[in-house]
A and B are shown apart, each in its own frame.
Chain A
């Protein structure tokens, strides 16, 4: 298995196809990161909100 390009610069340019390839990969990984982070944030927000409610309920007892 060999590196298919002469240099890092030619890897970026990819014989003119670079902008297409990098745009496709960039958009994809942005969406994947969003999919990964979004449920984690939802969970954290839920736990915070519930904890606040529990503390409020405890104070009122």
Chain B
């Protein structure tokens, strides 16, 4: 009885129907936070004494890097749950998390590179933080490729989950890289324990952007997973009912199109 919620959570249909209601709310919250955080960070946060205005890149660079790492854990944990409990839904979440994580890692690498030019005088440096982040990017791409590499989807899912779990070794290395190695990259400015080394007037817009990126991640992960659920469950009755419903509502909306066979 106590495990009922867990199994229900593992049902793709339940997940698809349940998340439908969350999407509009999540979209509104995400867009509001993104707009507020961006305007605040770009125009109203004070200029940095050392880095001038180039530091404003922090408001997208740091949240993207946070989510690139957190997203890897989400992917690896769902892979592990899929392997252990042999459930379908976690594999769909894992598959959806890979391209999102790759895109966020790409953002953090590119914005970091653009930020590096005015502050360090170089676009790229093979230092510990940047190199381990590049490895993270390749891990994401590798997992995406591995999932596609097998004829059987089950085998691809399992292989992807195993690579995702092996790759978690890289995550603490990324976190600790600025402390372990002497590097160009500045150490963490936000600390959960102890005082942050960033002033409140700069910290608040950054926190707004971090929350905005978390919300954005949740929203996009839901959208990708819902599309994946439809694809994988395409032969079930509930999906064909959904399609039939969609067709009839389309016909009602656009009468001209209703008669055609496209």
Please determine whether B54 and A25 come into contact, CB atoms closer than 8 angstroms: no
Please determine whether A17 and B103 come into contact, CB atoms closer than 8 angstroms: no
Please determine whether A35 and B64 come into contact, CB atoms closer than 8 angstroms: no
Please determine whether B230 and A46 come into contact, CB atoms closer than 8 angstroms: yes
Interface size class of A (residues with CB under 8 A): 35 or more
Please determine whether B44 and A25 come into contact, CB atoms closer than 8 angstroms: no
Main secondary structure of the interface of B (DSSP, over half): helix
A43 and B46 alpha carbons, distance in the complex (Å): 43
Given A24-B60, A28-B60, A50-B243, decide whether A17 and B44 contact each other with a Cβ distance below 8 A.
Answer: no
Interface size class of B (residues with CB under 8 A): 35 or more
Given A32-B216, A35-B103, A36-B220, decide whether A4 and B231 contact each other with a Cβ distance below 8 A.
Answer: no
Binding site for A on B (CB under 8 A): 34, 38, 40, 42-47, 52-54, 56-57, 60-61, 64, 96, 99-100, 103, 106-107, 110-111, 114-115, 117-118, 216, 219-220, 223-224, 226-227, 230-231, 234, 239-240, 242-244, 246-247, 250, 261-262
Binding site for B on A (CB under 8 A): 1-5, 11, 14-18, 20-21, 23-25, 27-28, 31-32, 34-36, 38-40, 42-43, 46-47, 50-52, 54-55
